[in-house]
Amino acid sequence: MRTWTRVAVPATLCGGCNRQLLKGDPVLLIDLAFLGGKMIHRVRCDRCEGPAPPDLPALVETTNAITPRPMTKFHPVLPLGTPLADFRARQSGEREPGEDG
Ligand SMILES: [Zn+2]
């Protein structure tokens, strides 16, 4: 299979003329599949394999890094001076005012 793409990894070498290809240069990827064997990939630049198709899309930069976002609070923090819940008192049956029932 022969597909025209653009170089994503800089300093890729053309297999025909050994020219160093820069990022975004058009290249022809040739995939050779043999019966029972694994795929063999060949790279040819546009000078070796004729001109690249004019409608070849530009290189789309993709990254797998996580986009940093500011940290967000999920629940409000108790204001200063607020006593924490006294679980021993609550287990003994004491309830705060308004919690009876
Ligand atoms: Zn070449």
At residue 28 the predicted structure's pLDDT band, cuts being 50, 70 and 90, is: very high
Residue 55 C-alpha to ligand 1 middle, in angstroms?
Answer: 20
Within-domain flag for 61:
no
- Tally of structural domains, the chain: 1
How many A from CA of 13 to the centre of ligand 1?
8
Ligand 1 centroid, distance to 48 Cα (angstroms): 4
CA of 4 to the centre of ligand 1 (A): 13
- Highest mean pLDDT: which range of 16-20, 64-68, 73-77: 16-20
Note whether residue 66 is domain-resident. Answer: no
Does residue 34 lie within any of the structural domains? yes
Segments forming the whole domain that contains residue 24 = 2-45
Please indicate, yes or no, if residue 75 is contained in any of the structural domains: no
**Least confident piece of the model among 1-5, 83-87, 88-92:** 83-87
71-96 core/surface letters (b: 16 or more CB in 10 A; e: else): eeeeeeeeeeeeeeeeeeeeeeeeee
Task: Judge whether 36 lies within some domain.
Answer: yes
Evaluate whether residue 33 is within a structural domain: yes
92 in a structural domain: no
Q: Has residue 9 been placed in a domain?
A: yes
Q: What is the mean pLDDT of residues 43-69?
A: 87
Alpha-carbon distance 32 to 47, whole Å? 21
Which pair of tokens denotes residue 3? 């597909």
Average pLDDT score, the chain: 84
CA of 67 relative to ligand 1 center, distance in Å: 37
